[in-house]
Amino acid sequence: MASGKGHHVKELAGFLIKHYTEQLQSIILSPDPRLHYPLVVDFAELLDDNPTLAHLLFSYPNEYLPVFDEAAIWAQKVIFEDLKKWENASVKEYIHVRINVSGSPLECPETFPSIGRVRVKHRGILLTLKGTVIRSGAVKMIEGEKVYECRNCKHRFKVYPEVETRNSIPKPTICPSQSPKFCESTRFNLIEDNKICHDYQEIKIQESTQVLGVGAIPRSIPVILKDDLVDMVKAGDDVIVTGVLTAKWSSDIKDVRCDLDPVVVANYVRRMNELKSGIDIPDDVIMKFKQFWSDFKNTPLKGRNAILRGICPQVFGLFTVKLAVALTLIGGVQHIDASGTKVRGESHLLLVGDPGTGKSQFLKFAAKLSNRSVITTGLGSTSAGLTVTAVKDGGEWTLEAGALVLADGGLCCIDEFDSMRGHDRATIHEAMEQQTISVAKAGLVTTLSTRTIVFGATNPKGQYDPDESLSVNTTLSGPLLSRFDIVLVLLDTKNPEWDAVVSSHILAEGEKEKGNCNEDLASIWPLPMLRRYIHFVKRNFRPILSKEAENVISSYYQLQRRSATQNAARTTVRMLESLIRLAQAHARLTFRNEVTRLDAITAILCIESSMTTSAIVDSVGNALHSNFAENPDEEYANQERLILEKLCITDKFPELNSNQ
């Protein structure tokens, strides 16, 4: 077997020299010989070049991954001959071959199962798992191997730590010498000067809730990272882990049965954060989008309303809420100034309403529209709640990510927003505005990313009192409310005409189910098309404010500052930022790269809808009773004239006077 493996070392070294010379050269020229260096090898390339070795590597990774590492050292020695003249050139002893299975047959369900489907049959093969990091432990140092010498025959051999026994190195029981005369001695000397240590870290990954069926509990599995892999990921990161499934004895606690817990020893970890928003959009779908907007070139608001009708179609009307949901999901453009200060691009939305007004329906539909989402209640889905908590695991403190961290780069839907714990209430301010969570718990000091859209829903405290402020009606503080770009109030007031229309719509839903389900975008957009559209406009449009839009937004902000009384908490610079974000989102929604007067006025109408008293519109209607207009473009023209007159800036737009 030893000679066979020696033959394989030469074969693998030849493969590495043939395909990975550049990587090996950069490792040889690296200055520090004590570091551990990764050499990333594509399994698909190995399979094409040498199918036999690829199969052996897949079937017996514990035996052949060390062989691959030896081959990498051997390949370095060959290439080193040409690089001797370079100053820092040296053959690195600590080099680890990392197997990337992307694009290879190992991406099939048998070797790439979900975490909940990992079984004993997967033990001992090269396994790949995908999940979200929910816990990351401290980096430790473990002893990699011990060298013993037999007192009888002087044979030296290495003994490696066993994962099963929590990395303890067992004492040898008999001399493993393969000489013609078997030694069989049981007395050994430990060679102290050959001690090799490794960095060691344990993380826990959990399967994504997106791929689970209804009622399924997301499963998690510990992953062991060593050497160059440590500290690569943090809580909330999406990762693909390739490694070997093994087991280790659970910690010996009194009166608790000792079990073998599954654990993956990682060979390669790929962060997926950059690929979080990977929704595939074919060219023919993009052409459909362009054709749609060319059809509605002269009536853009009619086209916009056709898109909005596809949001939560089972709920009748609620035009204002559907527009707010669309603008929140699309969001504005993140701005970073010269000093490095960030102004977030993500918008936040809060629905305050009586029971039965459809708040949870919108939350669930928004989660379906976002390709990465977490739905939870204010009390939190885990012990970590909404933000993050320190958990004692096996005698050491680790951080466990909450809903906001797990939804990083996506959407966090929080029902019963007012029932948040005290700790979460204190931390969510930073999470929503700075989009980070600063942690200093149990000696763990770090900052976690929360680039998350927050979509909250809450009931008012008792009967909603229109004469009181939102803060009094919801028990949420003014500073927290000011972080929401839009706060909509849905009150179930008695309105016989509205009740008649809604009841007929609900009864007609059953008949509509039986009809044909065509994809005519001019009438209603199906969910998959909406998802693709939102992703496309977020990725491809970065709208810039026109001079007209700047004038409208600036005038409105100044007017609000002058008349600020009850809404003083919201009439801050944050409101100005919210206006810009919403205007940019509306430009994206209507397939444009410039923020026009139309977008600015729509943003103002959204902000006005979220106020208990308005500086512009005389009657702020109940958002629950807002419906889609027959001729939205005509209605907008009237609203525009009214708003510009209230802002006293009609003279800046002479074309309005000529239209009258």
pLDDT band at 3 (very low <50, low <70, confident <90, very high): very low
**Residue 336: which pLDDT band, with cuts at 50, 70 and 90?**
confident
Which of 227-241, 552-566, 581-595 ranks highest by mean pLDDT?
581-595
Given a cut of 50, is residue 275 above it in pLDDT? no
Residue 489 has pLDDT above 80, yes or no: yes
Q: Are 227 and 96 in contact (CB under 8 A)?
A: yes
Percent share of the chain, pLDDT over 70: 84
- Distance, in Å, from the CA atom of 165 to the CA atom of 556, rounded to the nearest integer, reads 68
pLDDT tens digits, residue range 301-332?
A: 888 888 888 888 877 778 888 888 999 999 88
Q: Do residues 602 and 586 touch, judged by C-beta distance below 8 A?
A: yes
219 backbone dihedrals φ, ψ, rounded to 5°: -95, 155
Q: Which residue, among 243, 246, 189, 229, has the nearest Cα to 65 in the 3D structure?
A: 243
Kindly state the greatest CA–CA separation across the chain: 110
Summarize pLDDT for 513-556 with one digit per residue, the tens: 544 444 455 567 888 888 888 888 888 888 888 888 888 888 88
Rg (CA), the chain: 31
Tokens of 175: 């001399």
Question: How many CB atoms lie under 10 A from the CB of residue 555?
Answer: 19
Query: Comparing 216 with 127, which gets the higher pLDDT?
Result: 127
pLDDT classification of 465: cutoffs 50, 70, 90 = confident
- The tens digit of pLDDT for each residue in 159-185 reads 878 777 777 788 888 887 777 677 777
249: tokens are: 């004895």
Average pLDDT, the chain: 78
pTM above 0.75, yes or no: no
Torsion of CA 443, 448, 454, 456, to 10 degrees: -10
pLDDT in tens, 576-624: 888 888 999 999 988 888 888 888 888 888 887 776 444 444 444 556 6
Give residue 165's pLDDT.
Answer: 73
Q: Which amino acid is at 619?
A: S
Residue 189: band (very low, low, confident or very high) from pLDDT cuts 50, 70, 90: confident
User: What's the mean pLDDT in 86-113?
Assistant: 79
pLDDT at 659: 54
Say what the pLDDT of residue 478 is. 79
User: What pLDDT is recorded for position 624?
Assistant: 61
Q: pLDDT higher for 427 or 60?
A: 60
At residue 263, does pLDDT exceed 70? yes
pLDDT at 393 (0 to 100): 67
Note whether 33 and 90 are within 8 A (CB): yes
Tokens of 225: 């990272």
Both ends of the chain: CA-CA distance in Å?
93
Burial zone of 360 (CB within 10 Å; 0-12 exposed, 13-18 middle, 19+ buried)? middle
pLDDT, position 137:
78
Predicted confidence band at 351 (pLDDT cuts at 50, 70, 90)?
confident
Beta-bridge mates of residue 239 = 131, 271
Q: Provide mean pLDDT across the span 617-633.
A: 63
Contact assessment for residue 134 and residue 401, using Cβ atoms and an 8 Å cutoff: yes
pLDDT surpasses 80 at 372: no
Q: Alpha carbon of 386 to those of 284, 329, 432, 508: distances in Å?
A: 40, 20, 12, 39
pLDDT at 625: 62
| Residue 123 CA: distances (Å) to CA of 94, 105, 415 | 27, 18, 41
Asked if residues 249 and 394 have their Cβ atoms less than 8 Å apart, the reply is no
If you count them, how many residues does the chain have?
A: 660
